[in-house]
Amino acid sequence: MNVLLIGGGGREHAMAWKIAQSSLLDELYVSPGNPGTVRHGRSVELDLSDQEKLRAFLLEKSISIIVVGPEGPLVDGLHDRIAADMALEGKVTVIGPRQKGAQLEGSKDFAKEFMFRHNIPTAAHRSFGKGQLKEALEHLEKIQSPYVVKADGLAAGKGVVICNDRKEAGKVVKEMLEGGRFGAAGERVVIEQFLNGVELSAFLITDGDAFKMLPAAKDYKRIGVGDTGPNTGGMGAVSPVPFADKAFMQKVHDRIAAPTIRGLKKDGIPYSGFLFIGLMNVNNEPYVIEYNVRLGDPETQAILPRLRSDLLDLFEGIATGTLSERHVDVDDRTAVTVVLANEGYPDSYGTGKPIIGLEQVREAYVFQSGTVQNGDRLETAGGRVLSVTAFGKDLEQAIMAAQRSAALIQYDGKYIRPDIGLDLVKQPSTRNAPPAPVK
């Protein structure tokens, strides 16, 4: 099988690494790829909006699978364009939904209406378009703080504002609806009920009929220690997540994953590929915060090393509509991923600093994101530079191994959250507590 992987971040490095292990693989191409993916596949520069050139490439290289890492190309209709191209008919399978299905991520309003229609637990909401500022402000008067205000469209993970103060919330709504904040993405706003709980990222893969749950992970979104400071793309991940035990994941399967796949079918929305369900655990009950139509970054770097099954076998299951016959086999050890970021991220940061020490990492996987190869020098080129994933026989061991390995890598401005996973470690006082007296 010849595969084209779209993307160039840490998620795609982990995907390329995993795909390259498949006995079903002949050639892997990654567009644009990064200095990490070149070890697993050839980098190619493809303009996805140039259908003629893309078609010529797919035919010349006999690509049968296109895996789309980020949501952008899916929301832009890449899958639809490939499916409508007569010259590619029956030759290429896209792993990722069509434009309509991608609206689950591309429009929060669409996603909320979908969940409402199919009885999928999520925060109560109202949405308001341009010209409805007055109604939106009146709605804020009726609800309790904290206020959750979301731009409807894609806003690079920054379109959610949570405020305690009603005036402040009103200002944000006004800025979105009338002030152009988040551009077109903010021309419609969703105001929703605040969910108080712990977040979890659940993942599944589907051919539209059958679906298989993939390992779940916890992401650390804030930049600062103790979940403080601004939101980022993600500063680390842990998989599995101790509180997402069998009973909880069964609820996620039965009340959220299964009705979502059934709902898509019922609505006549063909959907294949990955689905990332951002969840809030509220008193042991799962609620959907958001859908993403892709895998997460850095969650992928924690979950793919745990996946024992062949990823291409699962993709083949999608291509042939036989996913129900394929197996997802998971390593039960804990994987911890820490992101090595750049000082200043998620705002401005410097680039072009040499990175050293990668070859010293022996007990972890290193995935590259914001890096560039400059001659024989690897240099920083992004806000999130690298991620390091380590296994451990328990969570504490995995945390220590990941931090030890991350410490071996050096560059100017390196920033790591030192507390990834620590919130999930049982308090030493309970762990070492004497056994309860026998009555």
CB 83 to ligand GLY: min, Å: 26
For residue 362, what are the contacts with CB-CB under 8 A and spacing of at least 6? 405
Q: In this complex, which beta carbon is closest to ligand AMP, that of residue 32 or of residue 183?
A: 183
CB 150 to ligand GLY: min, Å: 14
Q: In this complex, which beta carbon is closest to ligand AMP, that of residue 37 or of residue 281?
A: 281
C-beta separation of 385 from 341 below 8 A: yes
C-beta separation of 290 from 120 below 8 A: no
Q: In this complex, which beta carbon is closest to ligand GLY, that of residue 16 or of residue 295?
A: 295
154 binds, among ligand AMP, ligand GLY, none (CB under 5 to 8 A by kind): none
Q: Does residue 297 belong to the site contacting ligand GLY (CB under 6 A)?
A: yes
Distances (CA, A) of 135 to 171, 196, 433: 14, 26, 55
Q: In this complex, which beta carbon is closest to ligand GLY, that of residue 101 or of residue 296?
A: 296
Determine the number of helices (DSSP H) and then strands (DSSP E) in the chain.
14, 22
DSSP E strand stretches across 193-252:
198-206, 211-219, 222-224, 228-231, 236-239
Q: In this complex, which beta carbon is closest to ligand AMP, that of residue 40 or of residue 218?
A: 218
Q: Does residue 396 belong to the site contacting ligand GLY (CB under 6 A)?
A: no
Q: Does residue 387 belong to the site contacting ligand GLY (CB under 6 A)?
A: no
Q: Does residue 292 belong to the site contacting ligand GLY (CB under 6 A)?
A: yes
C-beta separation of 318 from 93 below 8 A: yes
Distances (CA, A) of 26 to 29, 30, 32, 65, 318: 10, 14, 19, 12, 18
Q: Does residue 346 belong to the site contacting ligand GLY (CB under 6 A)?
A: no
Choice from 41, 153, 296, 305 touching ligand GLY (CB under 6 A): 296
194 binds, among ligand AMP, ligand GLY, none (CB under 5 to 8 A by kind): ligand AMP
71 binds, among ligand GLY, ligand AMP, none (CB under 5 to 8 A by kind): none
CB 237 to ligand GLY: min, Å: 7
| 377, containing H or E segment | strand 377-380
At which residue do the structure tokens 């990064």 appear? 34
| Residues forming a β-bridge with 5 | 30, 67
Choice from 12, 152, 299, 310 touching ligand GLY (CB under 6 A): 299
292 binds, among ligand GLY, ligand AMP, none (CB under 5 to 8 A by kind): ligand GLY
For residue 394, what are the contacts with CB-CB under 8 A and spacing of at least 6? 334
CB 157 to ligand AMP: min, Å: 6
Upper half-sphere CA count for residue 335 (Cβ side, 13 Å): 26
Number of residues this chain uses to bind ligand GLY (CB under 6 A): 8
Q: What string marks each residue from 145 to 174 as x (binds ligand GLY by CB under 6 A) or -?
A: ------------x-----------------
C-beta separation of 104 from 115 below 8 A: no
Binding site for ligand AMP (CB under 6 A): 123, 148, 157, 160, 162, 192, 194-195, 199, 221, 278, 289-290
Choice from 219, 316, 379, 396 touching ligand GLY (CB under 6 A): 219
Phi, psi of 230, rounded to the nearest 5 degrees: -65, 160
234 binds, among ligand GLY, ligand AMP, none (CB under 5 to 8 A by kind): ligand GLY
Closest CA to 18 of 42, 40, 44: 40
290 binds, among ligand GLY, ligand AMP, none (CB under 5 to 8 A by kind): ligand AMP
Of the candidate spans 161-169, 280-288, 292-300, 385-393, the one that interacts with ligand GLY by CB under 6 A turns out to be 292-300
CB 277 to ligand GLY: min, Å: 11
> How far apart are the C-alpha atoms of 364 and 403, rounded to whole Å?
10
| 42, containing H or E segment | strand 42-43
C-beta separation of 355 from 327 below 8 A: no
| 404, containing H or E segment | helix 395-407
CB 217 to ligand GLY: min, Å: 9
316 binds, among ligand GLY, ligand AMP, none (CB under 5 to 8 A by kind): none
Q: In this complex, which beta carbon is closest to ligand GLY, that of residue 114 or of residue 274?
A: 274
Choice from 8, 10, 234, 370 touching ligand GLY (CB under 6 A): 234
> How far apart are the C-alpha atoms of 160 and 179, rounded to whole Å?
16
**Binding residues vs ligand GLY (CB under 6 A):** 157, 219, 233-234, 292, 296-297, 299
